[in-house]
Every structure is written in structure tokens, then in C-alpha cells.
């Protein structure tokens, strides 16, 4: 499944940058900014929310698969487009961004059908979190996973997002992943259970994801839906919402965050000062 690249003649819209199609009972979403390794824009996040709602209203859809365009090399989603952070000026900017992200992730988690992340290439930052919000994940040999924010921007995750990573790989490994700004390779992702299957080559990834979707389509939909909802309730009892504003503001309003962003865009090493 090769995605067409956005037109260079006009400003791409979210419809160009986030493609969707049906393949039998399976709905596909393809993140399509290959020139930026499919880094997400605000409009792409909003379009993903719309698609999730469309799936919820269509009983003929039995599974949802997320993947990235590979027309310029393997990539799932290399985070959020960093240039957008230059507009951040106030506490509200930081809090609104994290709240918007929380709404996107929660909407993805609450899709009534099982969701599958088919991961090739970098799956980092916002991309890594979307993959974590999916119910199932499989990867190709090129897959790389992580949150290298301590090396790049100097920001932080929200408490619910930290909880998602802890639920996936446990607190000790979550600390190792984020405190050392590591990127996990495909074999380590498999060993840690981040992916439950590693396909033998890049070409096998999408056909295998479709097979998973078709297998799911044959199962009892109410069993799958109630299982998803029950597991979310268990986590919600542990992680109260809105308890992390002070942590978010400490990072997003810091001089280090501004320095990290500008250094990233200038392709230089940031000069961290801890303030």
C-alpha cells in the first residue's frame, strides 16, 4: 500500500496528509507527510479524531489500522511537527496543547473496535503515544520506538501518557526508555512486548496487519468492545485527570524548552541550563 505524496503546488490539507480507505471490514489510516517522516500537524490530529468517530458510527467496520506512508522510506510517525511549538507563549498554550493531545489519545483508545498500529521506521513522540493507545501493535525490522524528549525538546509527557507507557512495559523500563532518551529497535520492542509480532521484512507488514484485522472481524464484537472499556476503567481508577498542570508548565514554559525547539529546527545540539 503506497501512499501518494501531497501536492507541492498547493498547501496540503488534512485530507492529503492523513489518508483513509476501507479494505473489507477493516478501516485504514495512513499518516502521509513522508517529507517529514509523517510528523503530525494539528490538522492531522483533528482528522484522526474525526475518523475515529466515523468508525464508531459505522457498524460494518470491525477493525482500525494505523500506519505511515513509506514512499520516502519506512516511517510510522516521527512525533509532532516541532515548528508548530514556536507559537507557544502562555501557560494556556502549553495546557491547551496537552489537553488537546489528551482528547486525541482518549478518542483513539475509545474507538469501539480493536485498533492496530502497523509500525515501520521511526515511531516517536506523538507517534509512539498513538501506537501505545492502539490495542495491538506489530512491527517490521526497521521499527524504532521511543520518546527522546530529554535529548530534543526538553518537554515532558502528561501523567496519563506516562501511565500508558508504564502499562505497556512497566515502570523500570519506562524510566530507562525516557531517562536515557533511548530508541528501541524492533527486536527489543518484541522482547518488551511493545509489539506482539515482528514480520520478517518490510513488505510483509501491511498484509499481515490486514490479516489481523480480518481475524478480529470474525470475533464477537461486544466481547471485544466491553474488554476495551473494562481495561480503560481499571487505568482510570489509578490516574486522576488534571493532576499534572504544574509538571507541564514547568517544562513547556522553560528556557530549556525554547532552546530545545530552536536547536532541533536548526539541527544543532541544545545547550541545556535547567531553567
Tell me what pLDDT residue 236 has. Answer: 86
Tell me what pLDDT residue 4 has. Answer: 33
Residue 26's H or E segment, with its range, is: strand 26-31
Tell me what pLDDT residue 14 has. Answer: 59
Q: Note down pLDDT in tens along the chain; length 275 residues.
A: 333 333 333 445 556 999 999 999 999 999 999 999 999 999 999 999 999 999 999 999 999 999 999 999 999 999 998 887 887 888 888 888 888 888 999 999 999 999 999 999 999 999 999 999 999 999 999 999 999 999 999 999 999 999 999 999 999 999 999 999 999 999 999 999 999 999 999 999 999 999 999 999 999 999 999 999 999 999 888 887 767 889 999 998 899 999 998 998 899 999 999 99
DSSP label of 157:
-
Residues 16 and 5 sit within 8 Å (Cβ to Cβ): no
Residues 232 and 110 sit within 8 Å (Cβ to Cβ): yes
Nearest to 112 by CA among 228, 233, 30: 228
d(CA 116, CA 119): 9
Question: Under 8 Å CB-to-CB from 94, ≥6 apart: which residues?
Answer: 88, 248, 249, 252, 253
Q: In 2-112, which residue ranges form alpha helices assigned H by DSSP?
A: 14-17, 42-56, 91-109
Q: Which domains does the chain have, with CATH numbers?
A: 14-266 (3.90.226.10)
54: phi then psi, degrees, rounded to nearest 5: -60, -40
Amino acid at each position: 500500500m503506497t501512499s501518494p505524496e501531497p501536492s507541492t503546488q498547493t498547501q496540503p490539507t488534512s485530507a492529503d496528509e492523513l489518508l483513509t480507505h476501507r479494505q473489507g471490514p477493516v478501516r485504514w489510516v495512513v499518516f502521509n507527510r513522508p517529507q517529514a517522516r509523517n510528523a503530525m500537524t494539528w490538522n492531522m490530529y483533528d482528522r484522526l479524531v474525526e475518523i475515529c468517530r466515523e468508525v464508531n458510527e459505522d457498524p460494518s467496520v470491525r477493525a482500525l489500522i494505523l500506519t505511515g506512508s513509506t514512499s520516502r522510506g519506512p516511517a510510522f510517525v516521527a512525533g509532532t511537527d516541532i515548528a508548530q511549538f514556536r507559537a507557544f507563549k502562555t501557560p494556556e498554550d502549553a495546557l491547551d496543547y496537552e489537553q488537546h493531545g489528551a482528547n486525541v489519545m482518549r478518542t483513539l483508545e475509545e474507538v469501539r473496535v480493536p485498533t492496530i498500529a502497523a509500525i515501520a521506521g521511526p515511531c516517536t513522540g506523538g507517534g509512539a503515544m498513538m501506537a501505545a493507545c492502539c490495542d495491538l501493535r506489530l512491527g517490521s525490522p526497521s521499527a524504532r520506538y521511543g520518546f527522546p524528549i530529554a535529548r530534543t525538546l526538553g518537554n515532558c509527557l502528561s501523567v496519563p501518557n506516562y501511565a500508558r507507557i508504564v502499562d505497556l512495559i512497566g515502570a523500570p523500563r519506562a524510566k530507562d526508555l525516557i531517562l536515557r532518551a533511548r530508541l528501541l529497535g524492533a527486536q527489543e520492542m518484541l522482547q518488551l512486548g511493545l509489539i506482539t509480532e515482528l514480520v520478517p521484512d518490510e513488505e510483509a507488514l501491511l498484509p499481515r496487519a490486514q490479516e489481523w484485522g480480518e481475524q478480529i472481524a470474525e470475533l464477537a464484537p461486544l466481547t471485544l468492545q466491553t474488554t476495551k472499556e473494562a481495561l480503560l476503567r481499571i487505568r482510570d481508577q489509578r490516574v486522576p485527570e488534571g493532576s499534572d498542570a504544574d509538571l507541564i508548565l514547568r517544562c513547556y514554559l522553560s528556557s530549556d524548552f525554547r532552546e530545545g525547539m530552536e536547536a532541533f529546527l536548526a539541527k544543532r545540539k541544545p545547550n541545556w541550563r535547567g531553567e
